[in-house]
Structure 1
């Protein structure tokens, strides 16, 4: 990929952002060296790696790959028999320790989990715990080797300490004894690694020993008394022996590292590669980016694409297609309208995608693999080369025409600008038609009306414009494909206060053909705005109808299921009654036949008849219990909240949700349905009365627990649609209110906010809800709504 396009499209700034997410120097270096690829297999592999790393970040959070140092030079020295120094061994231990953490991070949570593209990289990591533990045991820091590194080292250091103690004892006795009057200060000091005492210059001859130093004033000599010379010599010999032993220890550790040289090298390479991959994933997370779909057919389709270098709160997403129905797109419109941003967005996202980076666009966006991207954007004027803006642009155009082919993407900003408008427009048309004839995917911005007409009249060429609001004199930055843009010069000038007579004179200067063309564009723009508004309204209406349709279908399914269950229960009950009646009838016939053949007393026959009558009376009583308690007209004072009633017109049972109004209308909750009915359509039935957290008794004497005994103070609506959630919440709030709960928690999650918005809209319409608000930090935050009922 040519460097000029990378610089023009600000690809280097994206790479700098990418490098900031790498945690190791080698990882950052690899990020900075990333360039777009033209190999579809490599691009696909890198995109899958980025996707899988992003999935792991969402599931497990971020992972650091450590400040891994480049120890490849030290590993190379091991091959020729050299040893590592203390710093290199510590860097090796740090690499292995972080390898262990990363390997643990990469393990699958369960055996059934499908392996992803990063599985092999994590699996091939070798922590070499024994080696890193041994290095840490022997080396405490870059300046300190542990006494436990070897028995010999421990013995040597113990001997050094013993000699030092003897020297201190000797010198202290001299300082506090016979040499006291000769001393400048009563201290023991070190000179050239040997213990000395400070002697006044005039007493230097009184103290036998070796002079090692003199003060700057010459008044003090630092003398090593003869009594401790041998001990100092012993310490020097022991220190030399200690240094040799440390070399032996480092050599031993290096030999152990050499046994695993290849594993360490692979660990380093894999850790750098994982750092590089997870940096791409972290950038995708920051940009809210998605994996694009790639093709080799020159087709680009971007859905709500955003320029990654513009503030996410300010950037306006664009929808754009190129290479399917047309291979040349000409973008027109006023300055500051977003034409150049649209051009750069297409180019930069193409470069990012071919570098294995996700792009800030909606999923199912697609990109094509191009061998080269050529971009002529911005003011190319060069004083050093004595080139004007037009000359510089033409130099680029000549280069593009010479090198571009069907596997190239060409981007022009203000093609033909910087010279006579008539000639510039003619040149632009000639250049674009040449690229179009060669089948090269091209996108260009322009002000020339001639190019708008060329796009309208040429197959395979399409117009686009950046929308501009004349009323507010500001661009909306929306890219509209298929619509040529207006210059709006007259309208903008009029809004800014330019007199009408000047504007009219200007209109007289343009040709009738140009004026009529601008009028056509104005009409097209007005029609487009009208159609868009109607389309949005139609989409909203269609969504509402679909929602109602789904709700009705669900209610119908529940009603049908309940109806089938009732019919099934009734059929079973009828069969049972028939069986019992048949059994009694058969038994009665047998008894009467027996009475006719045998001499049976009248008393025994009467007992049988009485037993049959009692059985029939029991059935009558049971049937009477199933009949509603009242069948007459109810009065408003007969009904209370929570009373069990039957809606005669629907043949369904329910509970009273509200008191009757002045017209006798009230709401009855029947399962998930809450219906408004008239009091004359209701009868009370023998069910538990829900009044509070207590036990109430029915007329049959049976005890039933009220709902407050089991109802929860929280409802979980996660994963439900708005319609499903509202239906379930409606029933739950009625039960909670009737159970006298002061407040409840509604868990809806954060997500896109659509579920929360739908629930809040529903709560605003509920008369028995006094207040609702989002939970505090630590109680669920924006994912939970607290609902307080009226008292």
Structure 2
């Protein structure tokens, strides 16, 4: 891509922003080298990497790039045999550690939310843990070689510390003596030329003897190495030389290890730089509030609320542009300072960003094209040095564009034909537009010439556009209007500013009738557009409100359904617990009966016990099936006597015997129950042949049916017992039993008295008595049924 075009589109400023988000120097270098790519698959891969980095940054934050440095120069020097410094070696170890940390970080994200490209990139990093450990075992984070680097170095440093201690001890004794202290400028020990010295007043130089290594600026103080420690200093110096030689050996060994892995290390450094560069693109997208564009190579461009990235978000006016579908060229007309040039640059810059693998500041769903090149002639290109006028400069650029462009290019032309005679300029502009359009390029051009409005109107594949202007405030709104040609607004502005009506009327008379018709047509289009836009905004607002209400209603309905299901499940759990408790008690009773039969020799039939257990198991409520999300509030047909219905609360089927108001008597097996009509659902309606005849349900039972002849009420209170007695007597009566036994126990006699009072009034009971010997005595009441 031509660097001049990139500068015209302010592309380098985007690169400068990107560089600021890179955390390492290699990453900043890669960011500075970013350029648009003209291959669709390459662009998609670059955008995928940016999208994954954007996702990781959003979910987990930026990866830790701390400690990673530019190791390439050091590794290359190690490869050719140069010895690396301790700080360079430690930088390599820190970079290796940082690479492993980033790899672990990305793999952790990949397990939760796949980031395929980043994961593959980190998998390419080599395992250099052994080299990292070797370096860190010898060099600390300050770039100092550790004593533990070798046994020889450890021994030498012990000798150094011992020699220094002896010298200091000797000098300390010297400067503390009363005689010598008077001859010293200060009672301290210092170092000059790597040798221990003391500050002596110049007049006492001969007293100490030895070697003078330095003097103060005034000459009053001499830094003397006393003769008594010269030999000790010499030995210390020799020991330091041994230390330096050993350190050199250690560094050479470590450098050799680096040289052996040079190719892998250079590759790792490149991968880490790419990762930093990719995450810089993701962070830039966050800051710009940019989105991932859909890319194509068929010349289609659609920006939804596209923003110029270099204009503050609170000031920029988004534009909507579509190019390459119904029309391939847009002619933007209208006065200056309306935002035409900014719109032109927005289209070009966002296209360049997308082709570079960057997100674009536009709404989701925006589409951009991979062009083979973008050409632009924007701004005042007048050159005094080349003695070119504005028109000549523009024409030079345009001629160059016409020679280089292809059908897959995007051409952006600002103020086409400006700077010369209007008649000739407009004719030349139309000729250039026609040539570019005929070639099939995608083109956006701005102009002042009203003649180009008619050209765009008449030419297929070309459409007019303009920048909106508010006549009431005499200021542009900077909104790009596709399909509406621009108006000059000169008369309206002059009138608003107070120009005389006579002058305005005279001016209107000077305008050609054809031009007036065009202006009036544009004014009418503008008025209709504003009305349609207001209606669309109103409809869109209403649609959003309805959508919000619908979502809120669905959420509330779902919440109610969940609450209902939870309550029903809780009730079923409680019922199962009650049944389980009853089963356990019944099992205990049966076990007691068996034991009693064995003890007393009474004959208790085994099949009766099995039938009793089976009846208890069948009494357990079944798991309720989930009801539909929304139950119909209204039944399709009214329920009538004889209809087969389902009882919601009991999850049972039955037949309606009779209906009384809002309740119905339903036959459920051998039982009749009063049930609310709201608790019923129609399953099958009775035949309608005789609507006036009332359906009657006849139930017949024989003695072959398994009907209980005993009812055990021990442990129940009187109210519960009477309910059970009523149900029991109904079953016995329907089963044609002549005599039944009600076991209430002896106790206080309250239960027995209450039951017998109830039997006295019951319609199915002919008589009753206490049990005889062998029947339970006073603990049982025997009832004779009618």
TM-score by length of 1: 0.71
Q: Post-superposition shift, 1:373? A: 0.9
After superposition, the Cα gap between the structure-2 partners of 1:201 and 1:4, relative to the gap in structure 1 and judged at 3 Å, is closer
Q: Is the 8 A contact 2:190 2:198 kept in 1?
A: yes
Q: Is the 8 A contact 2:456 2:464 kept in 1?
A: yes
Deviations 1:439-471, CA, capped at 9 Å, x for gaps: 121111112111001111111111111111111
Does residue 558 of structure 1 match 2:672? Answer: no
After superposition, the Cα gap between the structure-2 partners of 1:184 and 1:118, relative to the gap in structure 1 and judged at 3 Å, is closer
Looking at structure 2, the residues matched to 37 and 238 of structure 1 have their Cα atoms a distance apart, in angstroms, of 61
After superposition, the Cα gap between the structure-2 partners of 1:415 and 1:14, relative to the gap in structure 1 and judged at 3 Å, is same
Q: Post-superposition shift, 1:185? A: 4.2
Question: Aligned residue for 1:580?
Answer: 670
1:503-542, aligned counterparts within 5 Å? 503-541=504-542
Q: Post-superposition shift, 1:345? A: 0.8
Question: Aligned residue for 1:138?
Answer: 138
Structure 2: which 5+ runs fail to align?
558-627, 637-644, 656-665, 672-696, 707-723, 734-786
Looking at structure 2, the residues matched to 517 and 495 of structure 1 have their Cα atoms a distance apart, in angstroms, of 22
1:182-581, aligned counterparts within 5 Å? 182-541=183-542, 558-560=630-632, 572-574=652-654, 577-580=667-670
After superposition, the Cα gap between the structure-2 partners of 1:557 and 1:496, relative to the gap in structure 1 and judged at 3 Å, is farther
Looking at structure 2, the residues matched to 319 and 423 of structure 1 have their Cα atoms a distance apart, in angstroms, of 32
Looking at structure 2, the residues matched to 446 and 116 of structure 1 have their Cα atoms a distance apart, in angstroms, of 48
Question: Aligned residue for 1:106?
Answer: 106
Looking at structure 2, the residues matched to 341 and 120 of structure 1 have their Cα atoms a distance apart, in angstroms, of 40
Q: Post-superposition shift, 1:583? A: 12
1:392-791, aligned counterparts within 5 Å? 392-541=393-542, 558-560=630-632, 572-574=652-654, 577-580=667-670, 585-587=700-702, 615-616=729-730
Q: Post-superposition shift, 1:515? A: 0.8
Please state whether the residue corresponding to 2:368 is helix, strand or coil.
Answer: strand
Q: Is the 8 A contact 2:350 2:360 kept in 1?
A: yes
Question: Aligned residue for 1:675?
Answer: none
Deviations 1:94-145, CA, capped at 9 Å, x for gaps: 2112112211211145757545211111122246334334423322355632
- Structure with higher Rg: it is 2
Structure 1: which 5+ runs fail to align?
592-609, 620-791
Question: Aligned residue for 2:154?
Answer: 154
TM-score by length of 2: 0.71
Q: Post-superposition shift, 1:44? A: 1.2
After superposition, the Cα gap between the structure-2 partners of 1:508 and 1:254, relative to the gap in structure 1 and judged at 3 Å, is same
Looking at structure 2, the residues matched to 533 and 172 of structure 1 have their Cα atoms a distance apart, in angstroms, of 95
Looking at structure 1, the residues matched to 253 and 543 of structure 2 have their Cα atoms a distance apart, in angstroms, of 78
Please state whether the residue corresponding to 1:558 is helix, strand or coil.
Answer: coil
Q: Is the 8 A contact 1:23 1:64 kept in 2?
A: no
Q: Is the 8 A contact 1:99 1:127 kept in 2?
A: no
Q: Is the 8 A contact 1:159 1:238 kept in 2?
A: yes
Looking at structure 2, the residues matched to 208 and 435 of structure 1 have their Cα atoms a distance apart, in angstroms, of 96
Looking at structure 1, the residues matched to 318 and 237 of structure 2 have their Cα atoms a distance apart, in angstroms, of 75
Looking at structure 1, the residues matched to 509 and 371 of structure 2 have their Cα atoms a distance apart, in angstroms, of 47
Deviations 1:30-78, CA, capped at 9 Å, x for gaps: 1111111111121111011111111111111112423643322221232
Looking at structure 2, the residues matched to 108 and 191 of structure 1 have their Cα atoms a distance apart, in angstroms, of 56
Deviations 1:269-294, CA, capped at 9 Å, x for gaps: 11100111111111111111122222
Looking at structure 1, the residues matched to 189 and 309 of structure 2 have their Cα atoms a distance apart, in angstroms, of 68
Deviations 1:339-358, CA, capped at 9 Å, x for gaps: 11111111111111111111
Please state whether the residue corresponding to 1:316 is helix, strand or coil.
Answer: coil
Please state whether the residue corresponding to 2:654 is helix, strand or coil.
Answer: helix
Looking at structure 2, the residues matched to 342 and 413 of structure 1 have their Cα atoms a distance apart, in angstroms, of 10
Looking at structure 1, the residues matched to 240 and 544 of structure 2 have their Cα atoms a distance apart, in angstroms, of 86
Deviations 1:546-587, CA, capped at 9 Å, x for gaps: 677888999796232897996555782526944216998414
Q: Post-superposition shift, 1:590? A: 8.8
Looking at structure 1, the residues matched to 510 and 537 of structure 2 have their Cα atoms a distance apart, in angstroms, of 40
After superposition, the Cα gap between the structure-2 partners of 1:612 and 1:52, relative to the gap in structure 1 and judged at 3 Å, is closer
Tell me how large the CA RMSD over aligned residues is.
Answer: 3.2
